[in-house]
Amino acid sequence: MKTKSAGMSIHKTVRKVTTHVLNAMKLKGEKIAMLTAYDYSIARILDEAEIDVILVGDSASNVMAGFDTTLPITLDNMIYHAASVVRGVKRALVVVDLPFGTYQGNSKEALVSSIRIMKETGASAVKLEGGQQVVESIERILSAGIPVMGHLGLTPQAIHKFGTYIVRAQEEEEARKLMEDARLLEKTGCFAIVLEKIPAKLAEEVTNTVKIPIIGIGAGPKTDGQVLVLHDMLGITQEFSPRFLRRYHNLHDEIKGAVQNYINDVRTLKFPNEKEQY
Ligand code: KIV
Q: Is residue 22 part of a domain?
A: yes
Whether 53 is covered by a domain: the verdict is yes
Q: Which pLDDT score, from 0 to 100, does residue 6 have?
A: 55
From atom 2 of ligand 1, which residue's Cα is the shortest distance away? 57
Quick one: 119 exposed, middle or buried, by C-beta within 10 A (0-12, 13-18, 19+)?
A: exposed
Task: Supply the range of the domain harboring residue 270.
Answer: 250-278
Instruction: Identify whether residues 242 and 256 lie together within a single domain.
Output: no
Q: Which of 96, 97, 154 to mutate to test the pocket of ligand 1 (most atoms within 8 A of CB)?
A: 97
The answer as to whether 40 is a domain residue is yes
Query: Can you give the CATH number for the domain in which 105 is found?
Result: 3.20.20.60
Q: Could you give phi then psi for residue 185, rounded to 5 degrees? A: -65, -40
Calpha distance 202→138 (Å, rounded): 24
Asked if residue 15 and residue 94 are part of one domain, the reply reads yes
CA separation for the pair 57, 42 (Å, rounded): 14
Is any ligand 1 atom within 6 A of the Cβ of residue 137?
Answer: no
pLDDT of residue 28: 97
| Closest of 44, 113, 103, 111 to residue 77, by C-alpha | 113
Please state, in angstroms and rounded to a whole number, the distance separating the CA atoms of residues 233 and 235: 5
Q: How close is the Cα of 243 to the center of ligand 1, in Å?
A: 16
pTM given for the model: 0.96
Residue 172 lies in a domain: yes
Q: What is the best residue among 197, 227, 233, 234 to mutate for testing ligand 1's pocket, by most ligand atoms within 8 Å of CB?
A: 227
pLDDT at 4: 45
* Whether residue 220 sits in one domain with residue 167: yes
Q: Is the CB of 129 under 6 A from ligand 1?
A: no
In this predicted structure, what is the pLDDT of residue 63?
A: 98
65 and 184 fall within a common domain: yes
pLDDT value for 116: 98
Could you tell me if 170 and 44 lie in one domain? yes
Distance 217 CA to ligand 1 centre (A): 9
Q: Is the CB of 217 under 6 A from ligand 1?
A: yes
Shared-domain flag, residues 32 and 125: yes
Is 110 among the domain residues? yes
Say if residues 183 and 135 touch (Cβ distance below 8 Å): no
Are residues 267 and 181 both part of a single domain? no
Say yes or no: 241 and 116 in one domain: yes
Which of 42, 59, 197, when mutated, tests ligand 1's pocket best, judged by the most ligand atoms within 8 Å of its CB? 59
| Within a domain: 3 | no
- What is the C-alpha separation between 82 and 63, in angstroms, rounded? 15
What are phi and psi for residue 215, nearest 5 degrees?
-110, 125
Does residue 2 fall inside a structural domain? Answer: no
CB 143 within 8 A of CB 123: no
Is residue 58 within 6 Å of ligand 1 at its C-beta? yes
The per-residue pLDDT string of the chain (278 residues; one tens digit each, 9 = 90 and over) reads 444 445 789 988 999 999 999 999 999 999 999 999 999 999 999 999 999 999 999 999 999 999 999 999 999 999 999 999 999 999 999 999 999 999 998 999 999 999 999 999 999 999 999 999 999 999 999 999 999 999 999 999 999 999 999 999 999 999 999 999 999 999 999 999 999 999 999 999 999 999 999 999 999 999 999 999 999 999 999 988 999 999 999 999 999 999 999 999 999 999 999 999 99
Do 161 and 256 sit in the same domain of this protein?
Answer: no
Q: Is residue 20 part of a domain?
A: yes
128 lines ligand 1 (CB under 6 A): no
One domain, residues 257 and 232: no
- Rounded Cα–Cα distance for residues 177 and 169 (Å): 8
| Active site (catalytic) residues | 196
Q: Does the beta carbon of 227 lie inside 6 Å of ligand 1?
A: yes
* Ligand 1 centroid, distance to 184 Cα (angstroms): 21
User: Partners of 217 in the beta sheet?
Assistant: 196
> Would you say the CB of residue 59 lies under 6 angstroms from ligand 1?
yes
Q: For the chain, what is the domain count?
A: 2
CB 98 within 8 A of CB 128: yes
- For ligand 1, is residue 237 a contact (CB within 6 Å)? no
Does one domain contain both 64 and 199?
Answer: yes
What distance in angstroms lies between residue 218's CA and the mean position of ligand 1's atoms? 11
Q: What is the DSSP letter of 127?
A: E
Partners of 32 in the β-ladder: 225
Among the listed residues 128, 133, 125, the one whose alpha carbon sits nearest the alpha carbon of residue 99? 128
Q: Same domain, yes or no, for 260 and 140? A: no
